[in-house]
Amino acid sequence: MILRASYGTIQKVNGRLSLEMDTAYLMLGERCVYNCLYCAQSRSSTSPSHFLSRVTWKEVSEDLLGKLNDRFKRVCIQVVSYPGYGKDLRLIIPRFRIPVSVSVRAISVEEVTEYFELGADRVSIAVDVPNKDLFEKIRGGKYERHLHILEKSAEMFPGKITTHVIVGLGESDKDIVDFIVWARERNIVVSLFAFTPIRGTAFENRERPSLERYRKIQLVTYLLEKNLIKPENIIFDSNGKIIDVEWNGEFPEEALKTRGCPHCTRPYYNESPRGPIYNVHWR
């Protein structure tokens, strides 16, 4: 078993972190069997194995796990899909007294069910690319099958399922909004990420999304979640780009904050401390 913790997690355990960070972040395994073209852990990536997004993950012993219970309010286990990851998760999840989120590319509803039976509080099944053709090209696998697992899991465990969307992988704004509406109808929490080019991946030379575009996505996601607008209040051009939102309020600061499970902040997961800051992690 290869177990890593984010740099921020280790710093907080050692009492040297000034950031507000209530979730501990662990990464289980390395070198995925899948080949997501933007991911440092993908099968074809030449990125160092201690990277996921732009975060450095340091290998740790299982002795660290007990310390997390006293220093954090939640632990998030980011699972790399390597052979045998399920067996290792069975050993790790029951070790915690605090709520556990498992982020995993589950291949069945039965797999998701097992994690809840082991004691997980939430399970995240990332879509990342909310467009069928792009999903199958960039992530691989069948989009409809992935959505089926996500939907059935949300039916079985209402309010306990999260998914991820990465802005900037070729999708349109309308693709994202349509997916957010779909997820909202099923009580699935959508975590937003900005695409981050990582050296050694197939997408290392792609550009990041503009901050202006990301702010629009954050705004409509928040307004839809709070039932402050309806989908028909979002105006798109012929290319699916948001050009207007029929809403008269001021931009809510809450919309800028990191979205995800309770207590999730993901400090600098997809941005440098120098900026620009896509997801505001401070509360």
What is the pLDDT, as a whole number, of residue 16? Answer: 85
Residue by residue, DSSP assigns 74-100 as EEEEEE---TTHHHHHHHHGGG-SS-E
Task: Calculate mean pLDDT across residues 44-71.
Answer: 85
What is the pLDDT, as a whole number, of residue 283? Answer: 55
Q: Is-contact 191 124, C-beta < 8 A?
A: yes
Task: Calculate mean pLDDT across residues 255-270.
Answer: 88
Q: Is-contact 112 89, C-beta < 8 A?
A: no
Summarised one tens digit per residue, pLDDT across range 82-124 is: 999 999 999 999 999 999 999 999 999 999 999 999 999 999 9
Q: Read off the DSSP letter of residue 254.
A: G
Q: Is-contact 190 217, C-beta < 8 A?
A: no
Phi–psi pair at 107, nearest 5 degrees: -105, 0
> Among residues 1, 191, 6, 177, which one has the least CA distance to residue 89?
1
Q: Residue 25: is its pLDDT beyond 70?
A: yes
Helix (H) or strand (E) holding 143: helix 143-156
Q: Is-contact 35 5, C-beta < 8 A?
A: no
- How many angstroms separate the CA atoms of 236 and 172, rounded? 10
> Among residues 212, 170, 162, 172, which one has the least CA distance to residue 192?
162
What is the pLDDT, as a whole number, of residue 124? Answer: 98
Q: How confident is the model at residue 23 (pLDDT cuts 50, 70, 90)?
A: very high
Strand runs labelled E in the chain: 3-6, 23-28, 51-52, 55-59, 74-79, 100-103, 122-124, 161-167, 189-194, 234-236, 242-245
Q: Which residues pair with 128 in a beta bridge?
A: 165
- How many angstroms separate the CA atoms of 272 and 270, rounded? 7
Q: Residue 274: is its pLDDT beyond 90?
A: no
Q: Read off the DSSP letter of residue 251.
A: P
Task: Calculate mean pLDDT across residues 3-18.
Answer: 89
Task: Calculate mean pLDDT across residues 120-149.
Answer: 97
Q: Residue 281: is its pLDDT beyond 70?
A: yes
What is the pLDDT, as a whole number, of residue 17? Answer: 77
Lowest mean pLDDT among 30-39, 224-233, 272-281: 272-281
- Report the chain's mean pLDDT, rounded to a whole number: 93
What is the pLDDT, as a whole number, of residue 53? Answer: 73
